[in-house]
Structure 1
Amino acid sequence: MTSEEAYPAERDPGVARVGRRGARRAFLAAALRNPGQFGALAPSSPSLAAVIASVAPTTEAPVVVELGPGTGAMTTAIEGRLAPGARHLAIELDPRMVGFLRQAHPGLEVVEGDAVKLQALLAERGIEQADAVLSGLPWALFDDATQVSILAQVAAVIEPDGVFATFAYRTGMALAAARRFRRTLHATFDEVVLTPTVWRNMPPAFVYVCRRPRTL
């Protein structure tokens, strides 16, 4: 069974309201404005978004936090899984992406801010713990200290049986930055699992699924 068969892409009603081409244009414009904040020149594919979103809890009233949602490819897939009463927050640094998300996903709680302030941003909204943190952040663009800081905060906010998921590009696995990131993940979580490669993404990618945060 391929990764796409195991994790079928969800319908994309949010993006449909503003148009897929509009989403791509908005993402490209933001990437060109702030290239240091974006690790790609196109949003994640529906196939990759579906794989990440598949770990989001379907239980009653969970709290799910997205980091770096961009134009909301992953947001749409998550929304398709969440039960009524769920709280779904997205933390986005780029102000134009914030505006785009609020238009495309009116039910989403969009937080304009930096993921390096994750705990403070959640505390301001009365959240101490989340059931899942799902990330589209460009980890390769962060230095080691920033990676460690964000992941430590993720580990601190997710429930003991919660989950953290993020993706990486297959083509970059051998790079030194990617190896350092994997070491940090293993130092932060007891369980780090890689999904099959999602070939229907450009470039092909896989997802890290992490559980049981360690006490740092």
Structure 2
Amino acid sequence: MTTRTPARGLPVFLAAALRQPHLVGAVAPSSRDLGRQLATVVPRQGSPVVVELGPGTGAVSEVIDRRLPPGGRHLAVEINPRMAEHLRRRHPAMSVLCGDAAELGTLLAGADAARVDAVVSGLPWSLFGEDLQRRVLAQVCAALGPRGGFSTFAYRHAARLAGAQRFRALLDACFDEVIVTRTVWRNLPPALVYVCRRPIERGAGA
């Protein structure tokens, strides 16, 4: 079985990974198969507001855009300025906010999007300490509407590590429902997707 990864944007991804490995946390852009699993929280109807955290070179952004209905809005929060500029060129219909996901509420307020319908994350949670994991998840829960959905992933080989187990427990504290998908083998490395719904207000601060 071969693993498909997008070639476009790969030089930008590799440059960012070499310069800031603590912020990228991946060996290759996400595959389309992983993107499709992550995008299941994106509503297909109405005028939803969807936020993507850590879009990198936009591999998952393309999948989100294909699923998003014509009246939808796609915002992307990217901390790396070079990647943010790359995204603006490649995805002119997507609003790119260059900043830290831990300041999501402030970034969304500046974009006139205080409440959103879905959050799709490509952040490297396993590289974050517990405090940062809690802060970002608290921001996500505060931004999501009561029926909002959140999706993110973990690499299969690292799912049993202490940091990954801690993050999994935080998801259970933050959301009423957390579903773990089957392994997405067509990704490098293979990954599991967490599909979370109905944020609990006390969530990450509990």
For residues 121-156 of structure 1, give each alpha carbon's deviation from its aligned partner in whole angstroms, at most 9, with x where no partner exists: 001111111000000000011110000011011111
2:33 paired with 1:47: yes
User: Which residue is equivalent to 1:16?
Assistant: none
Question: What's the CA shift for 1:202?
Answer: 0.9
Quote the Cα distance in structure 1 between the aligned partners of 2:84 and 2:43: 24
Residue 193 of structure 1 aligns with which residue?
A: 179
Matched, 1:58 2:44: yes
Mapping for residues 1-216 of structure 1, pairs under 5 Å = 20-216=6-202
TM-score (normalizing by structure 2): 0.94
Compare 60-69 and 50-59 and name the one that shifted more.
50-59
Q: Which consecutive unaligned segments of at least 5 residues does structure 1 have?
A: 1-8, 13-19
Measure how far apart 1:175 and its partner are. Answer: 0.3
* 2:185 alignment partner AA: W
> How many angstroms apart in 2 are the aligned matches of 1:202 and 1:43?
8
Amino acid at match of 1:164: F
CA contact (8 A) 2:177 2:198 kept: yes
Tell me by how many angstroms 1:22 deviates. Answer: 4.0
Query: SS in structure 1 opposite 2:7?
Result: helix
SS of aligned partner of 1:198: coil
Structure 2 residue identity aligned to 1:123: A
Give the alignment's TM-score, normalised by structure 1: 0.89
CA contact (8 A) 2:76 2:95 kept: yes
**Pairwise CA distance, 1:54:** 2.2
The separation in 1 between residues aligned to 2:40 and 2:177, in whole angstroms, is 17
Q: Runs of 5+ in structure 2 lacking a partner?
A: none
Contact 2:76 2:96 survives alignment (8 Å) = yes
In 1, distance between residues paired with 2:8 and 2:171? 34
Cα distance in 1 for partners of 2:37, 2:7 equals 22
User: Following TM superposition, where does structure 1 have runs of at least 4 consecutive aligned residues deviating by more than 4 angstroms?
Assistant: none
Aligned-pair distance for 1:21? 3.2
- Are the aligned partners of 2:27 and 2:188 in contact in 1 as well (CA < 8 Å)? no
Confirm or deny: 8 A CA contact 2:57 2:83 kept in the other structure. Answer: yes
